[in-house]
Structure 1
Amino acid sequence: MRLVVTGRDGQVAASLLEAGQSRADVEVIAIGRPEFDLARPDTVFDAISAAKPDIVVSAAAYTAVDQAEDEPDLAFAVNATGAGKVAEAAARLGVPVIHLSTDYVFDGSAPGAYVETDATAPLGVYGASKLAGEQAVAAAGPRHLILRTAWVYSPFGRNFVKTMLRLAADRDEIAVVADQWGNPTSALDIADAILHAAAMLHRNEELAAFGTYHLAGTGETNWSGFARHILDTSLAFGGPWARVRDIATMDYPTKARRPANSRLSSAKFASVFGWKAPDWRQSTETVVRRLLVDKTKQAPSFNANPR
């Protein structure tokens, strides 16, 4: 099975490339700029076609949440038009597409974990552009999986885990938002889930499993709880540690509003594909250990955005 993933530098792409190296039954090929550029729709089909995919993983995206407020045209060009072109290319080639989306399609007002049928209501440009991308992917053809995930981290690129470790090396206390809740999700786990689902789709082209799913880490916490677990784990491995001070969202203003509730229920994905993410604490410990102890096992770090 040949998986072609868009975006060489992203956390999920890097995790898929690493996972593919240890699998005899799958080949993972990443494509990116300059030959593939979501902001240049004319490059999309030729780049994907040349890679000869069995399945396309649409992971490339514009992920600068705050900057998107100032660059709405670019965000929509990449996340909506570009995503649609990737799905159209997959449809023309007769292969499925697995598209990554985000919790930011919701406004965070739900009292519990979001399910796939809950009403979407993005708070900002980034979420709106990703929702438009979902719609474009769905319109391109029926053989699609749209996977919404949240709070992504990994040994690669820039992310919350790396930020906490870096800050803890320089200061005694870190102020972290405590009134936003979600499911920390390891890109290593996302890659494993994608490979699992892709194998099922590849074996059974008539599998009636296409549609939209939530795919996030098991268990929930807030950002300050996530930070505390990262730093306590770091301390256990001999790494940096700092106290975490709870603050409110209003004490950490950002240009784009964030959902107060980003919790996603992944029960549908588990039921259909028979795969469930590990507890978020376990996956966090795996990544922190790699960053602090098993550095020699890391693939090269990529200059990726945090989502």
Structure 2
Amino acid sequence: MHMRLMLLGGGNALGQALIRLGAEENIGFLAPRPPDQGWDAASLTQLLDDTRPDALINLAFYFDWFQRADVDVARLETQERAVERLAELCQYHQILLLQPSSYQVFDGARATAYSEKDEPQPLGLRGQALWRIEQSVRAACPRHVLLRFGWLLDDSKDGILGRFLAAAQTREELLLADDRRGNPCPVDDVARVMLSVLKQLDCAAPLWGTYHYGAHEATTALTLGQAVLAEARAFRSFTVNEPTAQAHAACADAADEPQHAVLACRKILNTFGIKPRAWRSGLPSLLDRFYRHV
């Protein structure tokens, strides 16, 4: 790797996965520790003035965007301003910006897979914030790659997977939608995709723009939950035998969460040669790492 890579958010689950994968290929990252109050416009300005990397991977707010259960509007507003400033700084210093986003920018009203050409219509506050962040990145920093991911699963205790497994150990019933569809994305697979993109950008290929990635075999929330529990029984026993089917419309988060969240991945395949991997194959190692942490 010829580029000097900076990783904001090296301490979170996706940042750690990226560092692990990079180490296997002798690819290192500058991974600065965030200030006590978190990254903001002032601290980012100082950081990039001092370091001047060639490329920056922005996972600074990964947990809030992809894993946190609740939405803190004030935090999202602060993060929006920080990313807007970050994009301006990257343009000023001619730094390539790799920025993650999410299926949540779509409303889920259509049953067919969303491509990069489809117009976002986010439902919830988080999706709306991510859409505004995408727009500010495009406007401020032409040399960017925006990666929208599907249902991202990681090994953080308080993330989506952690909350599901904790509930399965204590509740008598777990309700999951059997008519809500998406692409599960184990965190190691997401790290693979990001590193593959960086490698090709390192060859000075001007492949800027927006790309979708979701693991192979779109599925329902119910089927995903069944598969996770089947694998997790190798590590724990659960009070729940099987999740119970529920309609998307009856879910507590139906107003915010897209019912149909399948992403079409043709563009990232044709541009970078990145093939979707089966999400089921990533569950054993993901759960093994999760239970070694808890």
What TM-score bracket applies, with the shorter chain setting the length?
0.7 to 0.9
Indicate how the Cα distance of structure 1 residues 255 and 245 shifts in structure 2: closer, same or farther if over 3 A, else same: closer
Indicate how the Cα distance of structure 1 residues 20 and 178 shifts in structure 2: closer, same or farther if over 3 A, else same: same
Deviating more after overlay: 52-61 vs 113-122: 52-61
Instruction: Kindly state the Cα deviation for residue 37 of structure 1 after the two structures are TM-superposed.
Output: 3.4
* SS of residue in 2 equivalent to 1:169: helix
* SS of residue in 1 equivalent to 2:43: helix
Match of 2:71 among 51, 67, 92: 67
Instruction: Kindly state the Cα deviation for residue 239 of structure 1 after the two structures are TM-superposed.
Output: 3.1
Question: Match for residue 41 of structure 2?
Answer: 41
Question: Match for residue 10 of structure 1?
Answer: 12
Question: Match for residue 246 of structure 1?
Answer: 245
Give the partner amino acid of 1:138: R
Instruction: Kindly state the Cα deviation for residue 238 of structure 1 after the two structures are TM-superposed.
Output: 4.6
Instruction: Kindly state the Cα deviation for residue 116 of structure 1 after the two structures are TM-superposed.
Output: 0.2
Instruction: Kindly state the Cα deviation for residue 200 of structure 1 after the two structures are TM-superposed.
Output: 1.1
Give the partner amino acid of 2:31: A
Question: Match for residue 105 of structure 2?
Answer: 105
Distance 2:243 2:84 in 1: 41
Instruction: Kindly state the Cα deviation for residue 254 of structure 1 after the two structures are TM-superposed.
Output: 3.6
TM-score by length of 1: 0.84
Answer yes or no: is the 8 Å Cα contact 1:99–1:145 preserved in 2. yes
Instruction: Kindly state the Cα deviation for residue 173 of structure 1 after the two structures are TM-superposed.
Output: 3.7
Question: Match for residue 283 of structure 1?
Answer: 282
Deviating more after overlay: 151-160 vs 82-91: 151-160
- Percent identity among equivalent residues? 23
Instruction: Kindly state the Cα deviation for residue 255 of structure 1 after the two structures are TM-superposed.
Output: 8.8
Give the partner amino acid of 1:168: A
Give the partner amino acid of 1:67: V
TM-score by length of 2: 0.88
Give the partner amino acid of 1:253: A
Indicate how the Cα distance of structure 1 residues 171 and 126 shifts in structure 2: closer, same or farther if over 3 A, else same: closer
Question: Match for residue 265 of structure 2?
Answer: 266
* SS of residue in 1 equivalent to 2:6: strand
Q: Which runs of 5+ in 2 are unaligned?
A: none
Give the partner amino acid of 2:237: P
Instruction: Kindly state the Cα deviation for residue 272 of structure 1 after the two structures are TM-superposed.
Output: 0.7
Instruction: Kindly state the Cα deviation for residue 114 of structure 1 after the two structures are TM-superposed.
Output: 0.3
Indicate how the Cα distance of structure 1 residues 65 and 140 shifts in structure 2: closer, same or farther if over 3 A, else same: farther
Question: Match for residue 203 of structure 1?
Answer: 203
Indicate how the Cα distance of structure 1 residues 74 and 288 shifts in structure 2: closer, same or farther if over 3 A, else same: closer
* SS of residue in 2 equivalent to 1:259: coil
Answer yes or no: is the 8 Å Cα contact 1:36–1:44 preserved in 2. no
* SS of residue in 1 equivalent to 2:243: strand
* SS of residue in 1 equivalent to 2:199: helix
- RMSD between superposed Cα atoms in Å: 2.3
Indicate how the Cα distance of structure 1 residues 66 and 154 shifts in structure 2: closer, same or farther if over 3 A, else same: closer
Distance 2:98 2:244 in 1: 39
Indicate how the Cα distance of structure 1 residues 121 and 19 shifts in structure 2: closer, same or farther if over 3 A, else same: same
Answer yes or no: is the 8 Å Cα contact 2:84–2:137 preserved in 1. yes
Distance 1:198 1:259 in 2: 29
* SS of residue in 2 equivalent to 1:4: strand
Deviating more after overlay: 219-228 vs 41-50: 41-50
Q: How many residues align?
A: 286
